[in-house]
Structure 1
Amino acid sequence: MGRARKIVSGIAIAAVLGGGAYWLTRPRIIDPAKIASAESDVALSEFPERVLFGDTHLHTDNSIDAFGFGARLGPEDALKFARGDEVTSTTGVKAQLSRPLDFLVIADHSDGLGVTRRLYDAPRFAIRDKTLRRWRDMMHESPQQSVRATSELIAAAGAGTLPAAMLDPARRDESTAEIWGNQLKVLDRYYQPGKFTPIAGFEYTLQPDGNNLHRVVMFRDGIERTSKIRPYPGLVSNVDGLFDYMDGYERATGGRVLAIPHNSNLSNGLMFELTDAAGGPMTAEYARRRGAREPVVEATQIKGDSEAHPFLSPNDEFADFGKKGWEIGNLTLSFPKKNDMLAGEYLREALKRGLSIEQQTGVNPYKFGMIGSTDSHTALATGDEDNFFGKHTGNEPDKIRAIAPQNLGTRVGRMGWNYLAGGYAAVWARANTRAEIFDAMMRREVYATTGPRMVVRFFGGFEFSSETFKGDWVRAGYKTGVPMGGELVASGAKAPRFLVSALKDPEGAHLDRVQIIKGWVDASGTAQEKIYDVAWSDTAKRQPVNGKIPAVGDTVNRARAAYTNAIGAAELRSVWTDPDYTPGQRAFYYVRVLEIPTPRWPLFDAVRFGVKLSPEALADAVAQERAYSSPIWVGPAARNTADRKTGQRRLAGR
């Protein structure tokens, strides 16, 4: 199970943790001219014609926790799996995607890159620190004890009590540089411009007191630039330090880099604060910097869904998706969750906060697009309910993973069935290349799915009509409006109009409905929201009752973990005008697409392994998968002056 590992000195246990230089003096370059030539041969469409699906948040055995949890698959295995090859999982199960992904970001933790592997391999006598020696012994004792040791390590990182040997800057260097350099080589070797795109990245793991403030850092560039740096640590820094690192990289190399916050639902209110990183007043300068550095946010993944929350949106009957088990506390459960924290955690509220901050400072720090990703720690990027390989190798497919406690090995309150099997990032790019995918994210022309690959288009403008869909409506969307992620400058008293189109996943479930969520700040300065059903299936039978569309129904057979497409629609579309628009109003609009109910992975497990689910798990074993588009913002004039450079360039023909 896994590859042979090289024995290293106990002195090499420490990872790249702490401050200092992040530049490698000897770049490792693999024929960048050949890659540049292959990229230039890829034809660019006039405007994005095909959506690309990928994962921007995958961990391999180079991550400190993934290896400790048992992962033995590395970057090359991850790339093979993502492009559609069959691989053997760490636990010996054959694994393959039914459809390959278009792109992948391997985002191993910068903190402790490869450290658990080195700790595992180190001779016991060479380890002087008692805690490190005990963790090494636990890792060798059993898979269960290895998970427990890694859980203790994560808790210590959150509490700031890691052993000093792991924090010694003098001991980080060659091993980290070697891991990063080797990974970059593998990425370039598997890069097939136009067909499959591996992208360089890492995860920045800032988590004060166990509150999740993690970001995935993603590069636009190949090895010629990315080999000149090494990943930036998070445990002993702050987000301003990360932004400084990003600024420095771009100045020194001419490259591009962005950051993607994730699991805001586990930050205990800190991810989308009304202050700057130091707790001071939110200034225009800080708001502009954050908006420029974080153009997209991860809305959904294995550790819960962060789009909305029932406490914040009591009139939203679909806001409770992916909440069970994740709303009881922060990442490490070191502090319980309180309701007054929720506004700083959920994306819809953050978008509303952005409007309020813009009203005060002139700049919106939370003008972000939405994507999904897995955060899998198995090196297997699958968001499919019937092909879910778990958060980590401790809950790869087996008889007990759905019913056992699954919170990092030691704490109670979260169960295996609380994990979601999603999601994916959907990107409207003009070609499948690093530059085009990165640029699409910078202009926010992206959307999130919880796993299914439905195709969602969303345009805003002032000239659309019911006739628009009869012609080349996509071209019209680009020519006379803006796509998802764009900004509309209000035109007199005209209300904005929106083109919305949703196609079912060809291998998945029919669609229930399409909604547009609007957020704005009213005349009194209070943030508001409203949800509009703009298209739905079976309209002859489902007319609004008290302003609500009746439930679509449920065809799921719980005994067989199966469903039928006897209800719902294969396609939904609408030309919608905001009936409540007030001239001069600043607002955002985004689309939420809901599938009909389908089985979740615990139900597939129950049938596959003959497991009896608990009443709580069974009650949550069916769900309506969904997609969230990036918003379109409408206002009297664009006030956010954040420079998005190439990502904001006008597309050809627009």
Structure 2
Amino acid sequence: MYPGKSYSPYASRNFSDKVYWGDTHLHTRLSADAGLFGNTLGLAEAFRFARGEEVVASTNQPVRLSRPLDWLVIADHSDMMGFSEDIAKGASNVLAYPEGKKWYEGLQAGGDNAADAAIDLITNFSQGTLPEGLVKEYSPGSKVYASVWNRVIKTAEEFNDPGKFTTIIGFEWTSLVKGNNLHRNVLLRDGAERAKQVMPMVTQPPVGSTDPLDLYAWLENYEKTTGGSAFAIAHNGNLSNGLMFPMDEQYTGKKIDENYVRLRAKWEPLYEWTQIKGDGETHPILSPADEFADYETWDVGNLDLTQKKTEEMLAGEYAREALKNGLLLEKKLGVNPYKFGSVGSTDSHTSLSTAEEDNFFGKATSAEPSPKRMHHPFVKTDIGVYEGYELVSSGYTGVWAKENTREAIWDALARKEVYATTGPRMILRFFGGWDFNENDINSRNPAFAGYQKGVPMGGDLRSKGQKGSPTFMIYALKDPIGANLDRIQVIKGWVDKQGNTQEKVYDVVWSGDRKPDKKGKLPAVGNTVDLKSATWTNTIGASELATVWKDPDFDPSLKAFYYVRVLEIPTPRWIVYDAFRYGIDLPKEAETSGQERAYSSPIWYTP
């Protein structure tokens, strides 16, 4: 062992120095809704595609990512897992039921008959009216279900290649309360030996439950039984109609008490901030002073549009409001249940994890590239409509870790040293401390000072008697093949001395020589998007932005959180590429460009 201080700073480096890109939420044909609506691709095709190989989509189109992902979670719905695959091939155990035979024949007929059969099947599933025996066959405890789960595990193990490509074994627990989305994705840190000791948690009776408290009990039992580790990620809550982040009581009528906040804080370290069904950071009604709040907003109703949205529901659906309300619950009950980090996911049901605007393969097989997809409603009821052109090409998760292994990726997610993007692979660093200065950010190795003098995103900043305001070191580098950066913002939330939640958005560094006006508003960066040719230019914006920012409004007696939002310059939405490639018109009411973004996990300040 060398006795003195090493000359080489890299020789003793022991912090997370690489960012790895992945998706925490992808579905294959094993998911009932994916398979019934035409997805023919399975687990192997999903992993092959994610690691950079070309595959043929369910609509017979060749497709490939611009760059491989580093890791992937296939999170097929645990309820009826594998059923859609069996009915598609006419498995005898399915055809033994008159209803199963009817649905099979409808699906085989194709066209409207197939669509009607799929809708009827999904409706019966969501209403709990499937034949009881059929449900039992595709539930934990049956040989059929065990066989499917073992195949999920076996395929994940086959494609897990430490150092090159990581697979994380998981599933989606699909709690749907009267059409209100309370889904969670469960991620296991472990391999086959432990994963095979359990069956996934489901929601259908008699063995399942839609109550998150029962999911937490499943997670507790998994760790106790296997000696392994697991956690859950709450689905983007914008389709929960106010149920995702309760303040007083759950949908079950159970009070939000010490037990609830403790368990949610323990088992849900992350939240899905952005995905294919809308962005979940904030809403313009919740954040009226935030000029960038209305981004890819879905606020018509709940998941299946059986219940219309009201303004009162919004506070229980969005990340920023939940982060603020978590501080209130911590003050009341002693634990913050909404102290979560930030991930982005596709929630694609095509087996294809695509989040780039120029390579977007949609939510489901029916929304894969075609001249009609942007004009065809995704969901339409008497309540309202989610238009085809409103689907969002989003999102991915950047993970700061030492190596690309299952353990390192899972651990980084668990400690919240991660960030979400709407698709671009920009590099983002965010540290909080008490004495960062310009020399730290100008060193070209800011992470050394970041870890030495502060905490990274996802961390807790303690006062420890320091005087003055905290300082934050922030660095963002554009996606190498993407758009330039417009600005970096810090979003702060806190509870004031009167007990009211507050928020403020700070522009902390930006491109060009723009100057804020008298009201502090920074002029727009501009827009180079050419709709006719589906292009933009990097003649505006910056390739990198960096700063050390000090909170000018700091009150050392008040708990607070801070997170970073990085905005790109405007670029075309996926519908512009569709219009250009197919020679079709854009819907007049559709948004044609947007400013893609990254959301860091927060840093929390505690007096």
Contact 2:247 2:329 (8 Å CA) reproduced: yes
Decide which moves more: 174-183 or 67-76: 174-183
Q: 1:149–1:580: structure 2 CA closer, same or farther, 3 Å change rule?
A: farther
1:118-517 equivalences in 2 (<5 Å): 118-122=86-90, 127=95, 131-168=99-136, 173-236=142-205, 237=209, 238-275=211-248, 277=250, 278-323=252-297, 326-407=298-379, 413-471=385-443, 472-490=445-463, 491-517=465-491
SS in 2 for 1:426: strand
Report the 3-state secondary structure (helix = DSSP H, G, I; strand = E; otherwise coil) of the residue aligned with 2:385. strand
Query: How far did residue 537 of structure 1 move?
Result: 0.7
* Inter-CA distance 154–313: structure 2 relative to 1 (3 Å threshold): farther
Give the counterpart letter for 2:269 in structure 1: P
Encode CA deviations 1:186-214: one digit per residue, 9 max, x unaligned. 11111111110011000000001010000
Q: Which of 562, 567, 575 matches 1:589?
A: 562
Residue 589 of structure 2 aligns to a residue whose secondary structure is helix
Q: Distance in 2 between matches of 1:228 and 1:409?
A: 42
User: CA 1:145–1:103 in structure 2 vs 1: closer, same or farther (change >3 Å)?
Assistant: farther
Pairing of 1:515-526 with structure 2 (within 5 A): 515-526=489-500
Return the letter of the residue paired with 1:116: S
**How far 1:168 moved relative to its partner?**
3.5
Deviation at 1:382, TM superposition (A): 1.1
Partners of 2:306 and 2:383 within 8 A in 1 = no
Shift, 1:492, TM fit: 4.3
The CA deviation at 1:45 is: 6.1
State whether residues 139 and 202 of structure 2, in contact with CA within 8 Å, keep that contact through their aligned partners in structure 1: no
Contact 1:276–1:286 under 8 Å retained in 2: no
Would the aligned equivalents of 1:159 and 1:210 in 2 still touch at CA under 8 Å?
no
Distance verdict in 2 for CA 1:143–1:445, change over 3 Å: farther
Displacement after TM superposition at 1:166 (Å): 3.8
Superposed CA deviations along residues 337-373 of structure 1, whole A, max 9, x for unmatched, are 1110000000000000100000111110000001101
2:169 and 2:187 in contact (8 A); partners too: yes
Does the Cα contact within 8 Å between 2:273 and 2:280 map onto a contact in 1?
Answer: yes
Contact 2:83 2:138 in 1 (8 A): no
Q: Per-residue deviation at 1:242?
A: 1.0
Pick from 517, 539, 544: which aligns with 1:571?
A: 544
- Aligned counterpart for 1:84 among listed residues 19, 31, 52: 52
Task: Tell me the alpha carbon deviations over residues 285-330 of structure 1, each in whole angstroms, 9 at most, x when there is no partner.
Answer: 221110110000110000111110001001111111111xx21110
Deviation at 1:441, TM superposition (A): 1.0
Cross-structure match for 1:93: 61
Asked whether the 8 Å contact 1:70–1:143 carries over to 2, the reply is: no
Shift of 1:543: 3.4
Q: Counterpart of 1:29?
A: none
Q: Partners of 1:309 and 1:288 in 2: how far apart?
A: 27
Q: Distance in 2 between matches of 1:506 and 1:224?
A: 39
What are the ranges of 5 or more consecutive residues in structure 2 without an aligned counterpart?
1-10
Deviation at residue 145 of structure 1 after TM alignment: 4.0
Task: Report the Cα distance in structure 1 between the residues aligned to 2:406 and 2:314, rounded to whole angstroms.
Answer: 35
Instruction: Count matched residues.
Output: 589
Residues 261 and 145 of structure 1: is their aligned pair in 2 closer, same or farther, counting only changes over 3 Å?
farther
Query: For residues 126 and 483 of structure 1, what CA distance do their matches in structure 2 show?
Result: 52
Distance in 1 (CA, whole Å) between partners of 2:392 and 2:12 is: 35
The change in CA–CA distance for 1:570 and 1:145 in structure 2 (over 3 A counts) is: farther
The residue number in structure 1 matching 2:507 is 533
Shift in Å at residue 406 of structure 1? 1.5
Superposed CA deviations along residues 160-206 of structure 1, whole A, max 9, x for unmatched, are: 44443443479751222111112211111111111100110000000
CA contact (8 A) 2:514 2:522 kept: no
Distance 1:410 1:61, change over 3 A: farther
* Amino acid of the structure 1 residue aligned with 2:509: A
Superposed displacement of residue 131, structure 1 = 4.6
Q: Secondary structure at the match of 1:90?
A: coil
**CA shift at 1:47, angstroms?**
0.8
Distance 1:81 1:170, change over 3 A: closer
How far apart are 1:251 and its partner, in Å? 0.6
Any gaps of 5 or more consecutive residues in structure 1? 1-42, 637-654
Say whether 1:113 aligns with 2:84: no
Whether 1:607 aligns to 2:580 is: yes
State which drifts further: 112-121 or 406-415: 406-415
| Alpha-carbon distance, 1:132 to partner | 4.0
Q: Is the CA contact (8 Å cut-off) linking 1:207 and 1:235 kept in structure 2? A: no
Corresponding residue SS for 1:552: coil
Amino acid at match of 2:244: M
Superposed displacement of residue 59, structure 1: 0.6
CA contact (8 A) 1:45 1:431 kept: no
Confirm whether residue 631 of structure 1 aligns to residue 602 of structure 2. Answer: yes
**Structure 1 residues 478 and 395: alpha-carbon distance in aligned structure 2, compared to 1, 3 A threshold:** same
Query: Could you say which residue in structure 2 is the equivalent of 1:64?
Result: 32
Would you say the 8 A contact 2:569–2:595 is kept in 1? yes
Q: Secondary structure at the match of 2:181?
A: coil
Q: Which string of whole-angstrom CA distances, capped at 9 and with x for unpartnered residues, describes residues 401-460 of structure 1? A: 011112289996111111011100111111111111111111110000000000010000
- Inter-partner Cα distance in structure 2 for 1:454 and 1:407: 32
Cα distance in 2 for partners of 1:573, 1:186 equals 42
